[in-house]
Structure 1
Amino acid sequence: MAWAWYRAGTVSVTANSDAVTGAGGTQWAAGNVKAGDAFIGPDGKIYEIEAVASDTSIKLRTDYQGTTASGQQYAMAPFAPMTQAVYSKLVELLNQLAGELNVGSVKIGGAATEVALAVLGDVSLEADDSGNQITTLSRNSVSRAALLMLATAMAPRARVGLVNDDTDNLHIEVSTDGSTWTPALSLRNADGVIVVHQGIEDELGNPIGGGGDQPIAPGDIEGAATNTTSILGKLAADGTKAMRELDLAALQQALGTIVGRNLTISTSDPSGGADGDLWFKVT
């Protein structure tokens, strides 16, 4: 029912009867009146409406105490507490959204330790009228976290963002149990340096470098073996992509394995060998 009084039409009442009949355009069953609302009869007393049978018929919870009369003025108004009315409206809204949202897969509110909003299925974020789409995860202080959590069957396995380490550094961490986290990479907020926490391996599991919370910097690969047979070269000290060191024996062995031929890399002129062998003269 609307929040205003409803007075359309007239009523007929009978002494000691719980039946009320409407006329002259009453529309009680059209959402204007519901069980629990108040009915003020021609006798001026307030009665509770027990049921709405039709637009022209209602039943009172108690018998009408006035005299029998017809064509009389009356009034009806909501009598339920406001909280009940709000709850009813919320249920109605959720029912209306049921065709678009899977009601039950969305949780809104809850205790601080609960999920504030959980949506099942794919989620798309579209740009606003300006053409931008900016999503912000904010924390209250550096002792708190702002993270994107990645999970398998709701079990956290990786996270990216700002952890509660009293810094503004960006972290990438992994976990096998969702409670203990192993740092992999971090990006220092102060200077943009990438720090490798666990080292780097090639696809065969051979260590390349990194580890020990030290950054990979021009001039070396931190943590790599000093023996260049384990790697073919190191980054140039001046930060260019040129190789500072090159182990010819390691390169010869690697290329020979790839091409399936005997391969020689030497500063000398080609000599010996058989058909199909490869010889590279380095000057």
Structure 2
Amino acid sequence: MTVRSFARTLIALGLILTPVATLHSQAIAQVVLLPQTFFVGDMVEARVVVRTTETLSLTVPDPLPVTEWITIHSLTIVQRADGFEARIVFQPFFVGTRQLPVIGLGAMELSGVSVFVSSLVEAGDLDPAPIRDQMILPGTRFLIALLVAMVVFVPLLVLGTGKWIRRWIRYLVGRWRENRPYRRLMKNLKVLQAEMNQVDGKRYYIRLLDEARTFFHRHFHASILAATTEELEGRLEEAKAPAEIRRGLVEMFRFGDLVKFAQQTVTLEDRTRHLDELRRLAQMAYRNRKQSDRSRVDVGS
């Protein structure tokens, strides 16, 4: 072998051994496990700090190492001024101490990371515990006694007060049905108030007067859905609507007719005033009915 060939061999051997030397010069400085105590199946993050003065080209392997006793979900490399930090998220399926699988990072391999998986079973006597009597939750006997009492006394109570209960059920159902138009009106007026600045005057009064017709038609059972403004007061009077409600509605409908058919200019103050007036008249009619129903119940009882 000539001197030139021997020199080439030494250079090639040096290039091959350089990465190996680099790998051995890198040491794991710190391993932090989050959480510090974990059990089988827990999700754990290992933060492995490696200090080195060299600039390494590190890559995350794809796929990650796979074993039967541990599942590595992700690996993140964070560069540091004194090296790098590998953050490994894994899920162990063993008890005791083992090392994580060797992970190739391109320019180096990460190995020698030991983890300890705690056991839920206490060390010592692992013999099965003796058979115990079935446990009863606190208060179980009281609940059983209460259930038996209800089974016995509730039918007797229903038989004794059945007529009175049925009468009150019919009364409550009737009240709920009668009050449904009022609840619907209040809901629709709230929507109309929110859209007051978004619709023109004509469309606003069409919606406002339609709400008034629908509510007072159902409340007083008055035939006013197709009635003209001139017919409105007479039909409300036939349905025994209070005079104040009749006058307020007629004034509102006449103003609305001017807006709808005569193109009268309407201000935001006019819209607010008539919406509040309709709400006030509906509340008056609703309160009058509640007082009348309460009087009928008192007389009936």
Structure ranking higher in strand proportion:
1
**Where on the TM-score scale, by shorter chain, does this alignment land: which range?**
under 0.3
The alignment's TM-score, normalised by the length of structure 2, stands at 0.19
The alignment's TM-score, normalised by the length of structure 1, stands at 0.20
